[in-house]
Amino acid sequence: MSKVLFILVCILWADLNAVAADGITVISFGRADQAALTQAYYRSFRKSTDIEVKSASYDGQMAELEQMVKTGKTVWDVMQVESRTLQLGCQAGLFEKLDYSKIGDKNDFIPGAISDCGVGIFAWSMALAYDADKVKVAPGSWADFWDVKKYPGKRGLRRSARYTLEIALLSDGVAPGDVYKLLATRQGVDRAFARLDRIKSDILWWEAAAQPAAFLTAGNLVMTSAYTLWIDREQQRKKNFRIAWDGSLYDVDSWAIPKGTPKVSSAYRFIAFASQPEYQKLLSENVAYGPTNRKALPLLGAELIGKMPSAEANLRRALKIDTAFWIRHGEALEKRFNSWAPPVCRQQTDDDEDYDEQALCQDAQGKLRIRPEAEPHKHKDGDKDGEPHKH
C-alpha cells in the first residue's frame, strides 16, 4: 500500500469512527411513538452499526428547523414528519431530496409512502368503529353509518372538514379514487354538506384522538369514525370494539433528512435500516401502525395483519388522504365547516349553567345547549353583566 493511499484510508477510518462516536440525532413525536421507535429501530441500529442514536421529541412545529437551515447550523439528522409538514418543508428547501438508491426499492412500499423528501415509517388510519356488544348487526361501510333507521342512536365524527367531508362522499357511493376530484368542485362540496345535513342531529362531534373510544365505552355512541390505533388499544383492554375497514382513510408518517446536516451519510444508513421489513415488523408488533414496506406484512401473524392499516385487504377500498388537496383547499373548507357545525361545549359539568359561555354548543351526550339571547342580566354568582364565567 502506498503512503498516500495509507493516509487516505486512515482519514476515512477516522471519519467513520468520529461519526460512530458522535452518533446521529433523530427527532420524533412524543407519546408512544418515541418508545416504539426506540424499541424497533434505535437500539437495533446502534447494535448493528455502532452508530449511537440520540433521540428527542418535538411538537411538529418547524420554526426551530427553519432557523437551523437559515443559519447553516443544522444539528438534527433525521426527523419524523407528518405529510403536510413533509410537503411544505420539501417545497421550502428544509429537507434533502432523497436518493432512493441509498434506501431501497420503491416498489416495495405501499402507495403514498414514497415522496421526493420522505419515506414512510408507518401507515395510520381512520375508520368506522363500533361496539360489537351493542351493535348486533355489524355495519360494513359508511353507508351503514348513515342508516339511522337500521342503526338508531348517536354516531361520532371528527369535528373538522378534513376527513369528515371525505367520509360523507364515501357514504354516498363515491369511489375512493373520485373523492378529491369531486371535492375540488363546488358541486362536490355541496353534495358532501347535503349528505351531512341528513344526519346532523344524530352526530356527536369529537376533537381529540382518545374521545371516540371513550364515547363508545360510555355508551354515548353506537358507532364512530376513529383512529384505529386507539381502537386497538381498547381491544387490548378486552373491549369488544370492532373496525369496518371498507372506506377507511389512511396516511403515513415519514422519515426526512433536514437540509444541511453534516451527517447525511449516516442519516441514509439509518433510514435504509429502518425501512427493512424485519424492523418494521418489530414496530407493528409493539404499536398498531401498518408497515410501509409490503414485505413486512407476511412476517406478522394473521391476527396482527388484520389490524394493520396497510394490510392488502384493508387497503383495497381505502382512501389515501390527499395532503396537497388540503393545503390548497383546507382553509376555505374549514371555514365553511365551522359555520355549519356547532362548537363543542367547554368546561363541562352536570350543572347546565356551566355552558353559559357559549350561545350554542354540543355537550358530550350530543345534546345542543342553547343560551337564550336575552337582555344583559346579573348572574347569580355575582359576575358583572356580559362578563364570562370564571370556571
Query: Got the DSSP string for 6-62?
Result: HHHHHHHHHHHHHHHHH-EEEEEESHHHHHHHIIIIIHHHHHHH---EEEEEE-S--
pLDDT given at position 369: 82
Sequential pLDDT tens for the chain (391 residues): 454 443 333 433 344 444 444 799 999 998 668 889 999 999 999 999 999 999 999 999 999 999 999 999 999 999 999 999 999 999 999 999 999 999 999 999 999 999 999 999 999 999 999 999 989 899 999 999 999 999 999 999 999 999 999 999 999 999 999 999 999 999 999 999 999 999 999 999 999 999 999 999 999 999 999 999 999 999 999 899 999 999 999 999 999 999 999 999 999 999 999 999 999 999 999 999 999 999 999 999 999 999 999 999 999 999 999 999 999 999 999 999 999 999 998 755 545 555 456 678 888 888 888 766 533 444 333 333 333 333 3
pLDDT given at position 215: 95
Closest C-alpha among 57, 78, 38 to residue 254:
78
Helix axes 186-198 and 161-171, enclosed angle (nearest 10): 80
pLDDT given at position 382: 36
SS3 of 165, please?
A: helix
Reading the block at residue 88, the C-alpha cell is: 411544505
pLDDT given at position 357: 60
Beta bridge partners of 224: 129, 156
Reported as half-sphere exposure (CB side, CA atoms, 13 A), residue 367 has a value of 8
Identify residue 306 by its one-letter amino acid code.
G
pLDDT given at position 366: 84
pLDDT given at position 323: 97
pLDDT given at position 244: 97
pLDDT given at position 116: 97
How are beta strands 223-227 and 319-320 bridged, if at all?
unpaired
Torsions phi, psi for 4 (to 5 deg): -65, -45
Helix axes 161-171 and 323-340, enclosed angle (nearest 10): 90
pLDDT given at position 100: 97
The C-alpha angle 234, 239, 240, rounded to 5 degrees, equals 120
